[in-house]
């Protein structure tokens, strides 16, 4: 069993960032709801308590049972976690008299403390809290302060227990990675040996033990996630992996033929299935985004149910589910938090489909998946592809989906994506695509009035899809692409560019 850091999640928007920063140190970590603490085996090297939207003074605030953790394992509380460790053990937490959100600077640092060694006075940290720690218990010692926050960090004497009021996991805490490294390496004594190669070795062994000689069906999408999952499974079970690439009629222009050929060239056992008419029929008359996603997911499952029956003794359905899919579909805290959108490859299968699910990438972020793919020597043309949603163009066509709208959007999308590649901009963008808008507008072409459709172009920068910002593409490029689209795609007379970030918007429009 690999060394493990446990992160107890209290519902913070930054919890996933804590995990990513720790994994960047080549240490494996898992996020668990605060009220579902896992068995603490000998491989657990430390525990981190996340932030939370709750106040520790709220009667409904989380009350974790830390009996087996505090004083026994290295423990770091961040924001709410730090306030809880103070408030619950004899300190005082009260509403702050000043706003404590955003940038602040350390004015005092105890450089002799194991957690804050190497940090410099004046370094920037990121605050995000409405309460503040007024008093700490007598055996707690302040190890860093800002102008407005005296107890920006503390250590408990006689324990490897610490609290930090700011968020070391966010980019704006300039020495945050060093603080986390101090905790992971010097306090928890982690070996930092969880690498792409070690993940491949461990996952391959686990898959071999779990699957044995069973046959596995894998749905390929042409994207990075399913491709890496396929190669990883092929490494583990060879010809017992049966890949199916479904044309749902919602792929990009020529994608079905091109991607199918590339998979066959990789030596994968892959079958192409044209089910586009079934997806169009299921989408007929639907305009609600969630209903469209569910319809696409339902047909997706039906197709795989039928195809699995053609593979004798198939027992498993493999999926390229990754961590952001899980986070956006299921509450990370196990509580009643809102589901942003459903993902057709998350949440198991209906009872009538007699296949078990295997998801080798379920706990990885997108950047980690690409690192695994490079270690597996997968072609960079596949690894470098932008993410593409499982429901495809079905959620990039606002309103009812029809074959005609898909055809128009495919042409628009091809001009945009090919333009990014031709101008050397593709690799500077994390994800890009076009959206068919449910509006028509007046235009003029030659001496004739037109009343045709509008599209929006979307290009964002991100690392894992959890947050994203719009890309400042050159005006000259946007002008050229807009001109090409309007002149070459019949039915479009207006092009817009989406300059929304995530949050508050999402990357996809639906």
Active site positions, annotated: 79, 167, 169
CB hemisphere CA count around 252 (13 angstroms): 22
Q: Is the peptide bond before 503 cis (omega within 30 degrees of 0)?
A: yes
CA–CA dist 116, 8 (Å, integer): 22
CA–CA dist 137, 131 (Å, integer): 17
CB hemisphere CA count around 324 (13 angstroms): 19
Ramachandran assignment for 420, one of left (phi > 0), alpha (psi -120 to 50 degrees), beta (any other): alpha
**Cβ within 8 Å of residue 117, ≥6 positions away:** 111, 182, 186
Q: What is the end-to-end Cα distance of the chain in Å, rounded? A: 40
Question: Is 108 in a helix, a strand, or coil?
Answer: strand
CA–CA dist 352, 46 (Å, integer): 42
CB 194 within 8 A of CB 2: yes
Q: What does the angle CA 379 – CA 381 – CA 386 come to, to the nearest 5 degrees?
A: 125
Q: What does the angle CA 396 – CA 460 – CA 172 come to, to the nearest 5 degrees?
A: 140
CA–CA dist 496, 133 (Å, integer): 48
Alpha helices in 164-254 (DSSP H): 176-181, 196-211, 224-237
Cβ neighbours, 10 Å, residue 329: 17
Specify which residues 314 forms β-bridges with.
215
Token duo for residue 157: 């004497």
Please provide residue 157's backbone torsions phi and psi, each rounded to the nearest 5 degrees: -65, 135
CA–CA dist 149, 155 (Å, integer): 16
CA–CA dist 210, 182 (Å, integer): 36
CB 162 within 8 A of CB 76: yes
CB 408 within 8 A of CB 453: yes
Nearest CA-CA partner of 134 in 156, 149, 155: 149
CA–CA dist 34, 46 (Å, integer): 15
For the chain, how big is the Rg over CA atoms in Å?
25
């Amino acid at each position: 069993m690999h060394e493990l850091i446990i992160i107890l999640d209290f519902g913070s928007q930054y919890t996933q960032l804590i995990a990513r920063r720790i994994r960047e140190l080549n240490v494996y970590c898992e996020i668990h709801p605060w009220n579902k603490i896992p068995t603490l085996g000998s491989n657990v090297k430390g525990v981190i308590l996340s932030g939370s939207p709750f106040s520790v003074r709220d009667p409904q605030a989380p009350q974790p049972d830390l009996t087996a953790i505090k004083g026994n394992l290295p423990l770091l509380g961040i924001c709410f976690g730090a306030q809880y460790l103070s408030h619950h053990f004899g300190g005082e937490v009260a509403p702050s008299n000043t706003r404590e959100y955003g940038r602040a600077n350390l004015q005092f640092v105890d450089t002799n403390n194991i957690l804050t060694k190497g940090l410099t006075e004046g370094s920037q940290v990121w605050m995000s809290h409405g309460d503040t720690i007024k008093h700490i218990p007598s055996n707690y010692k302040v190890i860093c302060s800002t102008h407005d926050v005296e107890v920006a960090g503390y250590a408990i004497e006689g324990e490897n227990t610490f609290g930090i009021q700011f968020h070391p996991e966010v980019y704006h805490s300039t020495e945050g990675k060093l603080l986390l490294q101090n905790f992971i390496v010097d306090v928890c004594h982690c070996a930092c040996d969880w690498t792409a190669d070690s993940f491949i070795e461990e996952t391959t062994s686990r898959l071999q033990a779990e699957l044995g000689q069973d046959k596995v069906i894998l749905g390929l999408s042409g994207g990075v996630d399913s491709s890496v999952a396929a190669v990883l499974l092929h490494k583990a079970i060879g010809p017992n992996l049966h890949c199916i690439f479904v044309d749902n009629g919602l792929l990009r222009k020529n994608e079905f033929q091109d991607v199918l050929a590339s998979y066959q060239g990789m030596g994968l056992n892959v079958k192409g299935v044209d089910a586009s008419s079934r997806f169009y029929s299921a989408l007929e008359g639907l305009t609600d985004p969630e209903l469209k996603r569910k319809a696409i997911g339902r047909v997706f499952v039906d197709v795989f149910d039928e195809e699995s029956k053609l593979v004798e003794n198939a027992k498993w359905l493999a999926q390229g589910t990754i961590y952001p899919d899980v986070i956006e579909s299921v509450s990370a805290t196990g509580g009643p938090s809102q589901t942003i959108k459903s993902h057709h490859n998350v949440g198991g299968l209906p009872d009538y489909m007699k296949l078990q699910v295997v998801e080798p990438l379920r706990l990885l972020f997108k950047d980690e998946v690409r690192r695994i793919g490079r270690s597996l020597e997968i072609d960079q043309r596949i690894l470098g592809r932008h993410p593409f949603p499982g429901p495809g163009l079905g959620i990039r066509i606002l309103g009812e989906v029809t074959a005609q709208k898909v055809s128009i959007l495919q042409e628009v999308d091809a001009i945009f994506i090919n333009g990014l590649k031709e101008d050397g901009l593709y690799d500077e963008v994390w994800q890009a695509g076009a959206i068919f808008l449910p509006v028509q507008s007046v235009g003029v072409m030659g001496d004739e009035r037109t009343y045709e459709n509008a599209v929006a172009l979307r290009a964002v920068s991100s690392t894992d899809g959890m947050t994203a910002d719009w890309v400042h593409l050159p005006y000259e490029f946007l002008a050229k692409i807009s001109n090409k689209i309007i002149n070459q795609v019949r039915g479009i007379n207006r092009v817009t560019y989406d300059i929304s970030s995530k949050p508050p918007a999402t990357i996809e429009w639906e």
